[in-house]
Amino acid sequence: MNAIENVANVAKLDIGRESRRSVPEMIFAEGKSHDDLLAICKRMLEKNGRVIITRLNEQQLDELQNQFKAYHVQIFPHARAMVVRRKDYRGLQTGGRVGVLTAGTVDLGVAEEAVMIIQEMGCQTFLEADAGVAGMHRLIEPLKIMIENDVDCLVVVAGREGALPTVVAGLVDVPLIAVPASSGYGYGGRGEGALMAMLQACSLGLAVVNIDSGVAAGVVAAQIANRVARARAAH
């Protein structure tokens, strides 16, 4: 039996058959022509009843909004992202709950990407912006909201020195996905400083995704929340 023959055995496995479907496909608009983008969106709307589009520029965003007047269109302005649904489309409601915190308002674009994909994966989201550590008192109200809503997972976005996830993970006991944002300047300012800080975090209980990657954080957070929600629902 050669190398390839061995691989065949994997076929007997049956991992994530249905759940895999719950990670929706997304359209990355950057660099796509209007016609191509429109064609792809229409094809996905036909197939799935819904299409998710990220990294649109101003013009693309306006054009698509015009094209899809017959649909339900949801805009995420800071992320320049968009979800279009057939009016009869029924989204998933899993019962998962994810909190999203940002250190500054400048990080809202990254946070909105996370919010969008988490919601499209069926979870409820709780977004609180501008909870940065330079003024610790700004952190209290947002954290209270997260705890009162008993979130299953936290996504925490921070640029600059990226200290917020460390501080939050030292105060709460919820799995935390940290997202470094490129909202810094000078040495380490394109997100490397925040990335290093999050990987070095003194607090335990957090893991990290790549710089500015709201989508990557959102998917893993939703997977965590959905697994919890399935256990809750299995009564």
Among 88, 89, 135, 149, binds a second copy (CB under 8 A): 135
CB atoms within 10 A of CB 222: 28
Of 33-41, 56-64, 68-76, 152-160, the window that binds a second copy (rule: CB under 8 A) is 152-160
| Residues 86 and 44: beta-carbon distance below 8 Å | no
Which span (65-73, 74-82, 85-93, 198-206) binds a second copy, by CB under 8 A? 198-206
Region 165-194 residues binding a second copy, contact defined as CB under 8 A:
166-167, 169-177, 180, 182, 184-189, 191-194
Tell me the H-state helices in 28-93.
34-48, 58-67
Measure Cα distances from 129 to 47, 100, 112 in Å: 35, 8, 10
Q: Give yes or no for residue 90 binding a second copy (CB under 8 A).
A: no
Instruction: Look up residue 61 and give its two tokens.
Output: 């965003």
Among 27, 122, 206, 214, binds a second copy (CB under 8 A): 206
Site string for a second copy, 93-132 (x = CB under 8 A): ----------xx---------------------------x
Helix (H) / strand (E) containing 120? helix 108-120
Of 37 and 71, which CB lies nearer to a second copy in the complex structure?
37
Q: Identify the residue among 3, 69, 70, 90 touching a second copy (CB under 8 A).
A: 3
Residues linked to residue 74 through DSSP beta bridges, in sequence order: 83
- What are the backbone dihedrals phi and psi of residue 214, each rounded to the nearest 5 degrees, phi first? -60, -35
Phi, psi values for residue 3, rounded to 5° = -50, -45
Residue selected from 100, 131, 139, 156 as contacting a second copy according to rule CB under 8 A = 139
Residue 64 binding a second copy, by CB under 8 A:
no
